[in-house]
Amino acid sequence: MRKLTTLLFPLLLFAYQVGDKVDPDILRQLKSDSKIVVVDFFASWCHSCAKELPQLQNFSYPKTEIVGVDVDEDVEAGRAFRKRLGLTIKTVEDPEGKIVSKFDPVGVPAIYIIVDGQVRDIIVGARDDIASVLKNHLARIAR
């Protein structure tokens, strides 16, 4: 029984939580050299994402870069969605869920704040004023 528990326990810790170090390979896939990387998981079929993403379009914070991860399995649908919104933020397509499965968010939209390769904060769910919410979270981390 102890052996079984030992084998299964790491599976429970699979999803990234606050304080976890992100796999360097995943960081490479996010294509960002910034000290702070704000990773936003979204999908074309998520109505809340469509409301939230335009607010992040012009978001800026020192040493911070926003990287969108489009989790659409249908890549073309994702591209059409981004075009419709006029999104210009850096976006990584993840149709096979290789990146998102590492983070394993409970829903989308989900924002992970990564500082020096470490998850420092997680915001799950859409917010009406995501830009100010994100700014507050970043300011709290900087303290």
Q: Which region among 42-50, 58-66, 113-121, 129-137 touches other proteins (by CB under 8 A)?
A: 42-50
Shortest reach from residue 73's CB to other proteins, in Å = 6
- The closest alpha carbon to 142, from 116, 123, 109, belongs to 116
Q: Put residue 37 in one of left, alpha, beta given phi > 0 → left and psi -120 to 50 → alpha.
A: beta
Q: Binding residue for other proteins (CB under 8 A) from 22, 105, 112, 137?
A: 105
Measure the CA–CA gap between 17 and 26, rounded to whole angstroms.
Answer: 15
* Three-state secondary-structure class, residue 86: coil
40 touching other proteins, by CB under 8 A: no
129 binds other proteins (CB under 8 A): no
| Contacts for 132 with CB less than 8 Å, ≥ 6 apart | none
Residue 104 touching other proteins (CB under 8 A): yes
Pick one of 74, 136, 139, 140: the residue that binds other proteins (CB under 8 A). Answer: 74
Contact residues: other proteins, CB under 8 A: 41, 43-49, 71-74, 77, 97, 100-101, 104-110, 124-127
